[in-house]
């Protein structure tokens, strides 16, 4: 690794108030356009939701720039985004379909919103049969298949597995529960478990190709509990619902709370395992400066995706599973861990430039995805307060 120790500029140098405001202007412009779609909201509830969301998102970004801390502020928006997503998604489903349950008739009509977790399961059938094994709509509908593929390609090119900390609408649930307690109740987790998502990925990809049906969605997705699930009409569908709820309680609620890690994302999610490979081609990574590292291994203990170990620290970089959340960077008192652009020297003077070049696109993804659902959730809450119903 090329480390330029001669550079004198301190890491995480904080800009002043005026410079911070200047640096926030581009984000304010982009979020204004994204949230308003170029039009001033007419209805009072929409206007209130727009103003609150715009202010909230840009306050988060302001502090991200002003304090030089990334994860501390990202996680607030990420968690709010995820819980607003549940509220928005479920109420929209009930408005459109009348229920969270999806019937076989809904599937025939292609009324199932497409989710990024299905993507790895679709690839083999797509290559061989030129069809998508999912009961959704290719284009035109809300959460269409082509639309989700475009979002996935864009995010992967820009962020790699940063997708899991800056885009995924499920990740914030896991993260929210992982921050419930101040101290982890379970500290030692055998690193062998980190192979589980890869094994699961292999099994679900092969099983889905053989059955021409998305195996993970049908049997293993914990997030079905808070989004949609197949209508319970048989022992099979009842069993599936029981598995979804059990996995949600265990992997998204209890284990993250006890371990302070994103257990579902780091040790179970097959899409996360699949997405790790995009880190190989993405330009941003997280590096550790061995010269500054005092081997306290605090970063190893707190990494939510199990991407740091003594071995990886010795090599000066994270494992490919790194979600680029920035938690280790914020936690390292020695400023030994930094965002980095591949191919460039790990020069202290360029550390903040690399960080900003990463957080601008990353925050645009998070702000745009979060903005829509946070606005919608606020509108639903205003509706509940004023009319007694969210629908």
**Shortest Cβ 142–other proteins spacing (Å):** 12
Residues 85, 117, 157, 74, CA torsion sign:
positive
Q: Is 81 in the site for other proteins (CB under 8 A)?
A: no
CA distance 207 to 224: 19
Task: Please report, as residue ranges, which positions from 184 to 243 form the binding site for other proteins (by CB under 8 A).
Answer: 209-210, 212-213
Count how many residues are written for the chain. Answer: 391
Q: What angle do CA 314, 1, 283 make, to 5 degrees?
A: 100
Q: Is 365 in the site for other proteins (CB under 8 A)?
A: yes
CA distance 330 to 336: 10
Q: Is 268 in the site for other proteins (CB under 8 A)?
A: no
- Within 10 angstroms of residue 71's Cβ, the number of other Cβ atoms is 21
Size of interface with other proteins, in residues (CB under 8 A): 58
**Shortest Cβ 361–other proteins spacing (Å):** 4
Burial of 217 (0-12, 13-18, 19+ CB in 10 A): buried
- Segment contacting other proteins (CB under 8 A): 48-56, 125-133, 193-201, 320-328? 125-133
Task: Please report, as residue ranges, which positions from 128 to 147 form the binding site for other proteins (by CB under 8 A).
Answer: 128-139, 144-147
CA distance 90 to 81: 14
Nearer to other proteins, 113 or 176 (CB): 113
Among 46, 52, 126, 243, binds other proteins (CB under 8 A): 126
Q: Are 152 and 159 in contact (CB under 8 A)?
A: no
Task: Please report, as residue ranges, which positions from 2 to 31 form the binding site for other proteins (by CB under 8 A).
Answer: 2, 30
Nearer to other proteins, 70 or 264 (CB): 70
Among 360, 381, 383, 384, binds other proteins (CB under 8 A): 360
Q: Are 324 and 362 in contact (CB under 8 A)?
A: yes
Q: Which residues make Cβ contacts (< 8 Å) with residue 59, sequence separation at least 6?
A: none
**Shortest Cβ 205–other proteins spacing (Å):** 12
Among 118, 354, 374, 378, binds other proteins (CB under 8 A): 354
| Nearest Cα residue to 302 out of 254, 261, 251 | 261
Tell me which residues touch other proteins (CB under 8 A): 2, 30, 34, 103-105, 107-110, 124-126, 128-139, 144-147, 149-151, 153-155, 157-159, 209-210, 212-213, 283-284, 341-345, 354, 357-358, 360-362, 364-365, 368
């Amino acid at each position: 690794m090329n480390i330029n120790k001669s550079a004198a500029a301190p890491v995480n140098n904080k800009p002043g108030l005026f410079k911070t405001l200047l640096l926030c202007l581009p984000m304010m412009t982009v979020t204004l356009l994204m949230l308003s779609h170029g039009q001033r909201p007419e209805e009072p509830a929409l206007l209130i939701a727009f103003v609150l969301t715009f202010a909230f998102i840009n306050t988060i970004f302001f502090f991200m720039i002003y304090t030089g801390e990334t994860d501390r502020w990202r996680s607030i928006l990420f968690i709010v985004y995820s819980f607003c997503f549940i509220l928005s998604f479920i109420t929209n489903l009930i408005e459109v379909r009348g229920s969270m349950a999806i019937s076989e008739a809904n599937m025939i009509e292609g009324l199932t919103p497409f989710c990024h977790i299905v993507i790895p399961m679709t690839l083999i059938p797509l290559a061989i049969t030129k069809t998508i094994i999912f009961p959704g709509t290719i284009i035109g509908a809300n959460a269409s298949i082509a639309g989700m593929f475009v979002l996935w390609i864009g995010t992967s090119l820009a962020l790699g597995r940063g997708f899991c900390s800056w885009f995924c609408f499920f990740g914030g649930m896991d993260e929210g529960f992982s921050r419930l307690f101040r101290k982890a109740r379970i500290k030692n987790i055998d690193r062998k478990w980190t192979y589980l998502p890869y094994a699961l990925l292999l099994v679900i990809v092969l099983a889905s190709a053989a059955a021409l049906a998305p195996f993970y969605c049908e049997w293993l997705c914990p997030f079905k509990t808070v989004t949609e699930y197949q209508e319970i009409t048989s022992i099979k569908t009842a069993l599936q619902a029981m598995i979804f709820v059990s996995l949600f309680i265990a992997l998204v609620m209890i284990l993250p709370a006890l371990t302070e890690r994103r257990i579902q994302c780091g040790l179970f999610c097959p899409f996360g395992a699949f997405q790790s490979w995009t880190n190989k081609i993405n330009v941003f990574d997280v590096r550790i400066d061995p010269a500054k590292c005092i081997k306290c291994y605090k970063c190893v203990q707190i990494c939510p995706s199990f991407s740091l170990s003594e071995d990886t620290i010795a090599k000066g970089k994270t494992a490919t599973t790194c979600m680029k959340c920035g938690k280790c960077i914020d936690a390292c008192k020695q400023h030994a861990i930094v965002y980095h652009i591949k191919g460039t020297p790990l020069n202290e003077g360029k550390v903040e430039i690399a960080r900003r070049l990463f957080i601008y696109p990353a925050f645009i993804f998070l702000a745009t995805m979060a903005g829509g659902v946070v606005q919608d959730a606020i509108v639903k809450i205003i509706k509940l307060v004023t009319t007694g119903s969210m629908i």
